[in-house]
Amino acid sequence: GQRAQGAPLHFLCRIGSSANPELIPEVLQVNDLPLADLHSLLARYALQLQLVPNDTPIPGSFWGDPEAGVIGSTVYVRSDTPVHSLLHEACHLIVLPPERRALVHTDASDSALEEDATCYLQIVLADELDGVGRERLMADMDAWGYSFRLGSARAWFEHDAEDARHWLLQRGLLPAHAA
């Protein structure tokens, strides 16, 4: 869709490690899915998945525990890491060229369009995981506190994400079912 010059594409607001655990919404977590499926999905993009022990700080986590972390081409998670967080951080790495990917530590994005492409791709890749799918992932994103100008992940994805989709298509980063 069209947006005013300089208008933000969306804002990401996440619950960090200082959040009251009783207020953290119920979302799909890494422990809800077969680890082999997660490893396989990331391996298709030359990424590694590293499971760290529970109650251990997650290396490279921008938002703090239990959110996923990134260092180089590795995505770090615990069993209580939300699936949306794992996908989001993995997609940050997927959208980067290999020379930039190697330099990543904690913060992987440097543009609003890259951030949007990351969000778009994480929604699309949710369809690649049995038991997740885009509908559930978008609901989890909204429950967790991702904030989009149109009010929800679904509204953004369906009505305001054409630039992100186009960016991904230009780089050959969308799976065949989504292109």
Computed over every residue of the chain, the mean pLDDT equals 87
Handedness of CA 50, 11, 137, 99 (dihedral sign): negative
Q: What is the pLDDT of residues 32-52, one digit of tens each?
A: 999 999 999 999 999 999 999
pTM: 0.87
pLDDT, greater one: 47 or 178 = 47
Bridge partners of 97?
none
Q: 3-state secondary structure string, 23-83?
A: HCCCCCEHHHCCHHHHHHHHHCCCCEEEECCCCCCCCCECCCCCCCEEECCEEEECCCCEH
User: Has residue 135 got a pLDDT over 90?
Assistant: yes
User: Has residue 3 got a pLDDT over 60?
Assistant: no
pLDDT of residue 11: 44
